[in-house]
């Protein structure tokens, strides 16, 4: 399989993987990762320990990334971008407040 085909298949799998129940805190962690913040920065902004942020990030990734794909930060970030108007709409709307 060619690299371009693999990328298109993964992107489509991520696009079709909707998640209805993801806690607001996990959405916030994913969103801040999407914008490039590191664990320590996220912890400071959300008033949590870095270990708690890591736990939220790990659990959120395992929920939003389709089971047949690696639950990495990169794949979760792709998911956030593709689901900004549906699954993550509330969290994205909070940015406009």
Structure tokens at 21: 């129940």
**pLDDT tens digit sequence for 42-73:** 999 999 999 999 999 999 999 999 999 999 99
Query: What is the value of pTM for the model shown?
Result: 0.91
Give me the torsion for CA of 78, 84, 87, 93, rounded to 10°.
Answer: 140
Task: Tell me the pLDDT tens digit for each residue of 7-44.
Answer: 999 999 999 999 999 999 999 999 999 999 999 999 99
pLDDT of residue 97: 52
Per-residue confidence (pLDDT) for residue 1, from 0 to 100? 74
Domains of the chain: 3-94 (1.10.10)
Task: Tell me the two tokens of residue 32.
Answer: 């801040």
């Amino acid at each position: 399989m060619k690299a371009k085909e693999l990328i298109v298949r993964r992107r489509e799998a991520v696009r079709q993987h909707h998640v209805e129940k993801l806690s607001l805190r996990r959405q916030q962690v994913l969103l801040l990762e999407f914008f490039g913040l590191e664990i320590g920065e996220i912890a400071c902004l959300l008033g949590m320990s870095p270990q708690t942020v890591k736990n939220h990030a790990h659990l959120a990734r395992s929920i939003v990334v389709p089971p047949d794909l690696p639950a990495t930060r990169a794949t979760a970030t792709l998911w956030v971008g593709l689901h900004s108007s549906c699954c993550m709409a509330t969290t994205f709307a909070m940015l406009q407040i």
